[in-house]
A and B are shown apart, each in its own frame.
Chain A
């Protein structure tokens, strides 16, 4: 049916609403619009699409054209872009929250309550800020895992991977500093524990190894600087406020610019080049996807924030700790680590080793294969070690979050926290000074192996063997484990070695059962933890990295052995109540 023009009847006077296309054309052709947006009339030519990217300050970090392989959803999953969108959401909601929040001990908690109950949309802004922060931690970690699994950190992208690791650290530090601001019980105790770890720094903290030698006291060490006092108080709140709202976001923003710029300069995507592949325009192919991901991300955060309120506990009390007291979930793994290791190891050395180790990966991983696609087979060692680390991080989080109840005692997830747990068995040390400790007997050794240490005098942590012997044994073992895999020239057959090792440990467990009454469960733990150490700390490196030249090899082995030491010490504590493997109390050096 042919279209016929209808006479303007509705408006009587003959006024006609201009149709949309005419209006759009007039607006776009106006001098104001033309002065704001560069370029001429939009004809959707390749030149127009390129000009849209080049001529726009916000989009010009993009290339003009991009290979289709880099655009597959299943290659990047949009994780980096979503992380950035969450950063933007956090900036906007954070600035809005600052209008109503005053960072003083007397007012902070009251302002939080006002935000929840008195400020229009205050609770939504706070929820969005909280949930977006948690989501950002998740997405930044996932982004890192994705980049690792696709080998996208390898040459020429080593430097940008390092920037990324720093950005991950800053994301966590932003979460940590923001955690104090509500000034509720959760806040003050998480920060008390977190900053006390700084007090355990070797040399620089008043409770760390060699701290006393350096003249560190509670009011002049690194913890004092962080807190601006000897306890979490007014000075701490304003310090964390400034760090959270100004200093760290500024540094993060600057590093984000560098990060994006390097992505662009390092030819945008690591996906392998296929000569037959024809590049496509970034507008709209990539930018469109980015907008969709960003909009979806905003929508998800809003829905989440409408459905679920951010937690706020009772007002902070610096004298009473809630029971149990848990860190935010992404730090619960660290908190669980602190159960097994002294604060200077779990809180200072390990986090720093993780950061340095992650940044070092592109420089020690010389395997040229597997760049730009997911491949477990072409990079067996790198993937196995990295995934072991990530898995351990999340297993620790799981244990800390779901398996710890009142007094941080072990409760299985299905057990009620109302049931009283029997008191923990006393612990003992393997190597340490023998003066004043319980003398070692064969019966005691059998009792330890059999888990019957209850008969010892309460309050005394016994040391089994002298500390100097421990230093020699640990040093010797460490030395052998460091260089052993490289010295054995032939490939050790994997399956045979695994079976032989498990068999040998099983024999040890059975002998322990017969001669010392080792419980079966403890025996199984022994086999499991020892095998983890053997497989990841010896067999895999022997088979895969012994060809590396010495400096790279030694550094890699150092990181590998540190990683493997974590489950070994956890096993020693959980199954055999070992407190320290080696302790020198006079210099606060406990391992």
Chain B
């Protein structure tokens, strides 16, 4: 009896996990690396929810999803901060938390350089640990 009820409950629960989901691809071409100047680029924010950040050492892509509850923060150039509109988390350009409730740094996405010189960003592969996130495949070293 208990086995039957438990099995039925488990089966019903399993029903709610879809086996196939139709969501957009997480990989996109962000255009020529050369087209990015030093600083935070919001070019792909509306379409792909990613900032492309060029420093004097190289380039990386940061997923524009607050690690608190998933809103999209805004970039403030004058303060050098990302600030989230939902609960007020603040991050610096590297994605580290300065203030507010976010528990961990912003995620960086995998980046690779195509043969054409285009930047390919893959949001399915993410990293936020200092050290790991500053090395390939999450960072591409470039000469300024």
Instruction: Point out residues on A near B: beta carbons under 8 Å.
Output: 189, 192-193, 196-197, 200, 219-220, 224-225, 228-231, 233-235, 317-325, 335, 338-343, 347, 404, 406-409, 423-427, 458-461, 577, 579, 585, 588, 590
Partner of B87, one of A235, A317, A339, A406: A339
The reply to whether B86 and A325 contact each other, CB–CB distance below 8 Å, is yes
Residues from chain A with a CB closer than 8 A to the CB of B49 are: 318-319
The reply to whether B17 and A225 contact each other, CB–CB distance below 8 Å, is yes
Partner of A339, one of B45, B48, B72, B100: B100
CB B92 to nearest CB in A, in angstroms, measures: 4
Bound together, the chains give a CA A318 to CA B48 distance in angstroms of: 10
Residues from chain B with a CB closer than 8 A to the CB of A219 are: 21
The reply to whether A325 and B88 contact each other, CB–CB distance below 8 Å, is no
Can you list 20 A-B pairs, Cβ within 8 angstroms, ordered by A? A189-B71, A192-B70, A219-B21, A220-B17, A224-B17, A225-B16, A228-B21, A230-B23, A233-B23, A318-B49, A319-B72, A321-B72, A321-B73, A324-B86, A338-B87, A407-B83, A407-B84, A407-B88, A427-B99, A579-B99
The reply to whether B88 and A459 contact each other, CB–CB distance below 8 Å, is no
Across the A-B interface, give the 7 residue pairs with the lowest CB-CB distance, nearest first: A408-B88, A459-B96, A323-B85, A407-B83, A424-B99, A319-B49, A321-B72
- Main SS of the interface on chain B? loop
The answer to whether the Cβ of B68 comes within 8 Å of any Cβ in the partner chain is yes
Residues from chain A with a CB closer than 8 A to the CB of B40 are: none
CB A433 to nearest CB in B, in angstroms, measures: 14
Bound together, the chains give a CA A340 to CA B86 distance in angstroms of: 13
Q: Which residue of B lies closest to A219 (CB)?
A: B21
In the complex, which residues 38-82 of chain B have their Cβ closer than 8 Å to any Cβ of chain A? 45-49, 64, 68-74, 79, 81
Residues from chain B with a CB closer than 8 A to the CB of A341 are: 101
Partner of B85, one of A322, A425, A577: A322
The answer to whether the Cβ of B22 comes within 8 Å of any Cβ in the partner chain is yes
The size bracket of the interface on B is 35 or more
Q: Which residue of A lies closest to B98 (CB)?
A: A426
- Which of A231, A459, A461 has the largest number of chain B CB atoms within 10 A? A459
Known: A234-B22, A319-B49, A424-B90. A325 touches B101 (CB 8 A): no
Residues from chain B with a CB closer than 8 A to the CB of A229 are: 18, 21, 23
Residues from chain A with a CB closer than 8 A to the CB of B17 are: 220, 224-225
Bound together, the chains give a CA A318 to CA B87 distance in angstroms of: 18
Bound together, the chains give a CA A588 to CA B101 distance in angstroms of: 13
Partner of B69, one of A192, A324, A423, A459: A192
The reply to whether A189 and B86 contact each other, CB–CB distance below 8 Å, is yes
The reply to whether A458 and B92 contact each other, CB–CB distance below 8 Å, is yes
Residues from chain A with a CB closer than 8 A to the CB of B64 are: 319
Bound together, the chains give a CA A229 to CA B94 distance in angstroms of: 29
CB B126 to nearest CB in A, in angstroms, measures: 10
Residues from chain B with a CB closer than 8 A to the CB of A197 are: 69
The reply to whether B85 and A588 contact each other, CB–CB distance below 8 Å, is no
Bound together, the chains give a CA A443 to CA B110 distance in angstroms of: 41
- Which of A335, A407, A423, A460 has the largest number of chain B CB atoms within 10 A? A407
The reply to whether A231 and B23 contact each other, CB–CB distance below 8 Å, is yes
The reply to whether A323 and B47 contact each other, CB–CB distance below 8 Å, is no
Instruction: Point out residues on B near A: beta carbons under 8 Å.
Output: 13, 16-18, 21-23, 45-49, 64, 68-74, 79, 81, 83-88, 90, 92, 94, 96-101, 103-104
CB B94 to nearest CB in A, in angstroms, measures: 6
A sample of 18 more A-B contacts (CB under 8 A), given A228-B18, A347-B69, is: A192-B70, A196-B70, A320-B46, A321-B72, A321-B86, A338-B68, A339-B88, A340-B101, A342-B103, A407-B83, A407-B85, A408-B87, A424-B88, A424-B98, A427-B98, A459-B92, A459-B94, A588-B103
Residues from chain A with a CB closer than 8 A to the CB of B101 are: 338-342, 579
Q: Which residue of A lies closest to B22 (CB)?
A: A234
CB A231 to nearest CB in B, in angstroms, measures: 7
The reply to whether B46 and A235 contact each other, CB–CB distance below 8 Å, is no
The reply to whether B21 and A407 contact each other, CB–CB distance below 8 Å, is no
The reply to whether A321 and B90 contact each other, CB–CB distance below 8 Å, is no
CB A165 to nearest CB in B, in angstroms, measures: 24
CB B58 to nearest CB in A, in angstroms, measures: 18
The reply to whether B47 and A319 contact each other, CB–CB distance below 8 Å, is yes
Bound together, the chains give a CA A320 to CA B97 distance in angstroms of: 20
Residues from chain B with a CB closer than 8 A to the CB of A317 are: 46
Residues from chain B with a CB closer than 8 A to the CB of A319 are: 45-49, 64, 72
Residues from chain A with a CB closer than 8 A to the CB of B47 are: 319
Residues from chain B with a CB closer than 8 A to the CB of A192 are: 69-71
The reply to whether A577 and B18 contact each other, CB–CB distance below 8 Å, is no
Residues from chain B with a CB closer than 8 A to the CB of A408 are: 84-88, 100
CB A247 to nearest CB in B, in angstroms, measures: 12
Residues from chain B with a CB closer than 8 A to the CB of A461 are: 97
CB A180 to nearest CB in B, in angstroms, measures: 15
CB B61 to nearest CB in A, in angstroms, measures: 14
Bound together, the chains give a CA A407 to CA B89 distance in angstroms of: 8
Residues from chain A with a CB closer than 8 A to the CB of B16 are: 225, 228
Known: A235-B18, A335-B86, A585-B104. A459 touches B23 (CB 8 A): no
Partner of B103, one of A193, A325, A590: A590
Bound together, the chains give a CA A229 to CA B99 distance in angstroms of: 30
Q: Which residue of A lies closest to B97 (CB)?
A: A461
Q: Which residue of B lies closest to A233 (CB)?
A: B23
Partner of B81, one of A233, A423, A579: A423
Q: Which residue of B lies closest to A322 (CB)?
A: B85
Bound together, the chains give a CA A460 to CA B97 distance in angstroms of: 7
